[in-house]
Homo-oligomer: A and B are copies of this chain.
Amino acid sequence: MSEHLQAQDVMKSYRLLGIGATTLIGAQYGDELDYMAAAWAGVCDYDKGYAVVAGSHFTRKLIEKSGRFIICYPTVGIVEQTMKLGTISMNDDKDKIKNSGAELFEAEGFSMPLVKGCAAWLEYEVIQDKHSDNPYEMFFGKCVRAMSDSRVYSNNHWNFDQAPDHLRTLHYVAGGHFFAIGKEIVLPQYEE
């Protein structure tokens, strides 16, 4: 897949996140790396994102210690791994990542291993200010690195209809039910 990896402009990272797919949130501190599934993550500015990570999650401690997190968009091709990353806690299973079936890879410019089979990967530095300690357990982050699978996102646009269906993003409901992103709708009079 490495031939499809394409760096993206962090100032346009809102376009990656704008379609609102379910995410994987990753963090690493020392030898400990965790990824958890999260639907409560998204955009708060052109180059800024947020993720709600409750205090009970192992991932939260890693973000607090490292000051960094990854938001990535898993796809239909890794829906089972995504579900496992969302249901197994590293508090209970130190081999969670391996047991989820998720495969990792290293990519230039990212500070931690990434999950294979995602449509996009974004790394954030936690913004430390008076809003860091908020009642929603939200981390706010500044995007420092963005990358996509160019088969589904290039030139700052998503393009799913010409790509294999297993690369479509996931949108979670509950109880093991997801929707894949669907067909494109174009209003030609607004094209850039």
Contacts and interface: CB of A to CB of B under 8 A. Distances in A.
Contacts of A172: 18-19
A162 to B, nearest CB: 13
A52 B43 CA distance: 9
A113 interface: no
A30 interface: no
A170 interface: yes
B171 A76 contact: no
Contact of A168 (B15, B22, B160, B182): B182
26 contacts: A15-B173, A18-B40, A19-B172, A20-B42, A40-B42, A40-B43, A44-B136, A45-B52, A45-B136, A48-B136, A80-B187, A83-B187, A130-B130, A136-B140, A175-B192, A176-B186, A176-B187, A176-B190, A176-B191, A177-B187, A177-B191, A178-B184, A179-B184, A180-B183, A180-B185, A182-B183
Interface of A: 14-15, 18-22, 39-40, 42-45, 48, 52, 76, 79-80, 83, 87, 129-131, 134-136, 138, 140, 156-158, 160, 168, 170-192
Given A44-B138, A160-B179, A175-B192, 12 more contacts: A14-B39, A18-B40, A20-B21, A79-B185, A158-B173, A158-B177, A170-B185, A171-B181, A176-B187, A176-B190, A177-B185, A178-B184
